[in-house]
Structure 1
């Protein structure tokens, strides 16, 4: 009996030592930590900053090739910026870049490195860049700060409201005499068109920018883009606020009798002004010329 128990204990001990030895081999044979790469945050808007981080043990990442600080062009449109490296930090255990993208889509940085065995790797971390305007941004009030009407636009609004008041009175009087117009029809005619008020907000803001130099291209073209979108939404009876600049100008090209080269030049101008890393000033006359062009183009 005692001999059997001793034998069983010996077998258990041998089995324990065997498993311990086996798992030790697996533990030391398997690679521990190689590297980890990620974006923070993983999703941003156009022009927003995101941090790329590649962490690794010393000696695990060799000969890294990464973009230096500066602006990098869009391969499809070399005269337009695609992304900008704002800061770059490289050490023995990490690579950290702060980056802004100026187009929507999903992107990975052009970073290449080798492991200690000489095998080449490329960055696979994906950053999702969404359009700077969301579906919910369908009114100028959500894009521009509240404005008070003054000057000629205040008078214009007052004239519109006075005209609507006079029209209301006339319609009411005709209804009172004839008893033929339905209440629904009268309400539809009396009600002020919200689109007029939205356009007046944009026109007032553009007028304010042009007549208050210096005129900064980013702010001017951002407001002009909203003005164009609101006009297009009215003409096409569809939302335009959420479209990227590329999508907006494609719709303009499809809908208006404008030359393709002319449309592309305007698209480039809007993208450069709004999404480049530099704050550029333009003259009031240049801004007024751009606004006049689009007023005429959108009136067709």
Structure 2
């Protein structure tokens, strides 16, 4: 009896070890994942490139549908680009896309695939795109600094004050009264016309950009676009901040006598500068001429 019990316990141990060994083999034979998505980096600025990578076991992904290389429009504003596929690489175990988005928000690439059982899947990993200065969906107060005497204005003000102090207390007092009266007049004007303050904010920012090179085309033309929109809002007593570039320049063509070819050329300049993946620079002289052109065009 004892011998039989020992043999039975020995057999149970052997079966137990076989069971452990079998589970061990199964664990290492089964892949640890079917696929894995990743963005590098996971957060970028508008126009910056990000790498999307989909890694998978060979044979786990069937018939992947990917956006091809090129520009893709915004569904809500078809005349504006939403994102661009700059490059793509596909192998038996990896899909890699280099992508740049031209709007802020949280985005998912339109990628679809099926597993080996035929079940359909969509990309579920989001990329966060930060906003940048001059976005037209923000108000001037959000994207620009307060109007103040800074830069060359500060130097001029200091020089004026120094000269007035030298002339004596009497002249200084007279100047003070005059400035106070002028300020009251300006305050009344701003209060009567709410567009003026917004235009002054854009003028201050444009002057700062032009006089502190390097001048980045994207920043300059976004601020200039805001300046144009606020001037048109003032003249036509209607908001223009929500207009697309195509709608904006069509209205300029209709309302300000701008030649159609010139309007199209300017529209292309604004679009290329604001939505290109490259960070282009222009000279201060070129920026100044562009601003002068629009000052004159909007004064008609």
Pair in the same fold by TM > 0.5: yes
Which residue of structure 2 aligns with residue 82 of structure 1? Answer: 82
Q: Deviations over 1:100-143 (max 9, x none)?
A: 00000011111111111111111111100011249998659xxx
Which residue of structure 2 aligns with residue 145 of structure 1? Answer: none
**CA–CA distance in structure 1, aligned partners of residues 224 and 81 of structure 2:** 24
**CA–CA distance in structure 2, aligned partners of residues 72 and 12 of structure 1:** 66
* Equivalent in 262, 275, 290 of residue 294 of structure 2: 290
1:32-181 matches, within 5 Å, as 32-133=32-133, 159-168=156-165, 173=169
- 92-101 or 30-39, larger mean C-alpha shift: 30-39
Structure 1 residues without counterparts, runs of 5 or longer: 141-148, 182-195, 210-217, 232-248
Assess if the C-alpha contact under 8 Å between 2:133 and 2:219 holds in 1.
no
Q: CA deviation at 1:164?
A: 2.9
Q: CA deviation at 1:219?
A: 3.5
Structure 2 residues without counterparts, runs of 5 or longer: 135-140, 177-199, 250-266
**CA–CA distance in structure 2, aligned partners of residues 127 and 68 of structure 1:** 18
Assess if the C-alpha contact under 8 Å between 1:273 and 1:280 holds in 2.
no
Q: CA deviation at 1:11?
A: 6.1
Instruction: Let me know the Cα RMSD of the aligned residues.
Output: 5.1
Q: CA deviation at 1:203?
A: 1.9
Assess if the C-alpha contact under 8 Å between 1:80 and 1:272 holds in 2.
no
Q: How many residues align?
A: 240
